[in-house]
Amino acid sequence: MTVVSSHNDVENLTLIFTAEFDTNVDRVWQVWEDPRQLERWWGPPTWPATFDRLELRPGGDARYYMTGPEGQKAHGWWKVLAIDVSKRLEFDDGFAGEDGEPLDLDDTTRCVVTFEEDGGLTRMTSVTTFTSVEQLERMSEMGMIEGMTLALGQIDGILAESTVTY
């Protein structure tokens, strides 16, 4: 896996992330389509995800939870907005209550993932748009972000153009 680029758009609270995988596009699509494979990467190792439902079709729903180190559960849901197999997946991702159902249908993170195959390599780009910085804070509490370190040197780059490139 190679990270091709990563861009933070501060003003629009958007992250554009591109990674390249050394395999064909149908194989990369499988890690989204198959819930058992999706569970192996959606959550961090300390908060693994379990998908009870995964309906990859327009209007389809997903229900999942992430289990923390002390057995605590953080529930989430998706609503699929658009899908083009092996090309594009667009969904809203939100927080759910203990019953697994959405807490607030408007409080979501929009996620648009596109896939492109080129010369045996597959490029996957995810565009994630947050509605508020508060969402990020809560994700941090859910344990999605762990061991975060950032070199002080990157601050200059952020200030210069709100862009961090690896």
**Which of 88, 90, 139, 143 is close enough to bind other proteins by CB under 8 A?**
139
Is residue 8 part of the contact set for other proteins (CB under 8 A)? yes
In this complex, which beta carbon is closest to other proteins, that of residue 34 or of residue 101? 34
Is residue 40 part of the contact set for other proteins (CB under 8 A)? yes
**Which of 81, 126, 131, 143 is close enough to bind other proteins by CB under 8 A?**
126
- Convert 149-164 to b/e letters by CB count within 10 Å (16 or more is b): eeeeeeeeeeeeeeeb
Q: Give the range of 54-62, 78-86, 94-102, 148-156 binding other proteins by CB under 8 A.
A: 148-156
Is residue 51 part of the contact set for other proteins (CB under 8 A)? no
Nearest distance, CB of residue 148 and other proteins, angstroms = 5
**Which of 123, 128, 131, 143 is close enough to bind other proteins by CB under 8 A?**
128
Residue with tokens 């908060």: 47
CB 111 within 8 A of CB 92: yes
Q: Which residues contact 140 (CB under 8 A, 6 or more apart)?
A: none
E strands, 10-72, are 14-21, 49-54, 61-67
